[in-house]
Amino acid sequence: MKNKKIQWIFRVLLLVGVVSFVTLNSCKKNDDEDSGTANPVASFQFVVSATNFLEVSFTNYSQNATSYSWNFGDGESSTEKDPVHVYANAGSYTVALTASNAAGTNANYSQAITITDPNSALALLAGETSKTWKFYREGSCAGVGPDAENARSWWALENTGGRPCVYYQEFTFARDGSFTFDDMGSFWGEAAVFEGTANYEVCFDAIAANMINKDGADVSAWLSGTHAYVYDPTVGEITLNGTGAWMGLPQLGTNAESIVPEASKKFDVTIEEFVGYDLMTISYAYDGFYWDFTYASYSDPSLEPIVVEEEPPYGEDLPDLTPTEMWNTFETSDSYELLDTAAVYSPTGGGSAANSMDFTMGVADPAGVGVNCGQYDRWGTYQELQFMMEYDIQFDNFTTVSVDVYMPSSNDYSGTLTKDIAIIIGEASQTDGWWTGHIQYDVTASVMDEWVTYTFNLDSPTSGPGGYTPFERTDLDFFAISIGGGGHDAPGTFYIRNFTFN
């Protein structure tokens, strides 16, 4: 009995010891923090006053700190924990916070802030009462590229006579929040909207009867009209409100393109001041596409260049050639006659970076039984396999054109990727934009995972704005193969061989 009592007392003492150890260690940890030996972490956020744009409230989120030192970037400072600072002028400032613990250990954090006078910013956009902007007439005023660093690298518009009507159109912002577009009596037939119509890629009369898009929809809301806008200069953003309000290109929207008028669209904006005029650049950013546009507003009208009305002749007339053979098997880099793979207009073929496809020659037959072929990988909107010829081809010895296509079922055809195949013929050496006057031969594949030969009669094109046959022209020097449909960026892999004129 005595032994059991001793054992019980021992266990109680042991438990007390453990509790004491934990308590002492916990106290030591808390004492470390309380004594300020833990390393501080500096952090803050800020809010600009809704009633005074020069007043900024700073909220301190520092940890393990007992004192603070603020530098507001304008020569002023504070030692308050959560100071409120009033700047003397608008501008950009770097605010620095030093958080210190009791042991004298410091942590630093800085952040750049921009103080913008909303009235000054609005005046720069909309003047004292209103301000009118037009496309800038020097250098490029519009274009598209893969991103902001390479803006306008794929295509750019200049005041060279190609689209004179767009340089007269006026976009007016008023201080009362209204936005007015004046088409000045003419409209441009943007390809994405008017392809296949009489107004495709031309300036036409800006009347409602002409504003029918390629799908037959009424787009007259894009014509002259007054809408509303909201300008947020702190983030450099303009929102146009009202069905049909637009800037840049009519079809460009906040996050995607639309060939019908939308109720609202938002874009980024920057405005620069110069002597006698101001420049405004707006931009739309999509996945893999960056559109931007530059507008000018002149306080000195004498500085505004004239609009070039007529485009000078483009390119050169190529020598004529009447071949008896014209083909490419894509089996090797040398297996061709006239349709030279060195002229393939794609990134891997030495052509334009605007093309969103890759082409590889001499890949193994996907069916596993034949000779090598060409692999056609599309991944963007501009996806034709293009051939730029060195001659104007005369078609006297040909009646058909054909191509073998292997259409894999492994592609995802449930979305915008199609099973469409097209052979395109056009003129490129003297036309800045072969797509404005080409013809094409179309078919939709119905057989998957097999080689199929598709043959077309040259005297029976099925689509394209050209409206001719190859036998009616003597200046055709451009060929292309398109698979999977255009106007979208859905990826797909296909195989081709024996592109042949007979």
- Is-same-fold flag (44-115; 320-501)? no
What predicted TM-score, i.e. pTM, was given to this entire model?
0.54
Mean pLDDT of 200-217: 96
**CB of 307 closer than 8 Å to CB of 283:** no
203-207, 252-256, 365-369, 380-384: the lowest-pLDDT one: 380-384
Residue with tokens 């509303």: 228
- pLDDT value of position 342: 52
User: Does the pLDDT at position 10 exceed 70?
Assistant: no
| Assigned architecture for domain 320-501 | Sandwich (2.60)
* CA angle (209, 215, 218) in 5-degree steps: 35
- Tokens describing residue 350: 């030495």
**What does the alpha-carbon distance between residue 206 and residue 242 come to, in Å, rounded to a whole number?**
19
Q: What is the largest CA-CA distance in the chain?
A: 124
Task: Identify the band that residue 355 occupies on the pLDDT scale cut at 50, 70 and 90.
Answer: low
320: closest CA among 429, 406, 218?
A: 429
* CA angle (262, 292, 190) in 5-degree steps: 55
- pLDDT value of position 341: 62
User: Does the pLDDT at position 154 exceed 50?
Assistant: yes
231-235, 289-293, 458-462: the lowest-pLDDT one: 231-235
- pLDDT value of position 96: 97
Overall size of the chain counted in residues:
502
Q: What stretch of H or E contains 100? A: strand 91-100
Residue with tokens 């079922």: 409
**CB of 186 closer than 8 Å to CB of 165:** yes
In this predicted model, what pLDDT tens digit does every residue of 52-107 receive, in sequence order? 889 999 999 999 999 999 999 999 999 999 999 999 988 899 999 999 999 999 99
Sequence ranges of the domains in the chain: 44-115, 119-303, 320-501
CATH number belonging to domain 44-115: 2.60.40.10
Most confidently modeled range among 263-267, 355-359, 370-374: 263-267
In this predicted model, what pLDDT tens digit does every residue of 166-190 receive, in sequence order? 999 999 999 999 999 999 999 999 9
**CB of 49 closer than 8 Å to CB of 234:** no
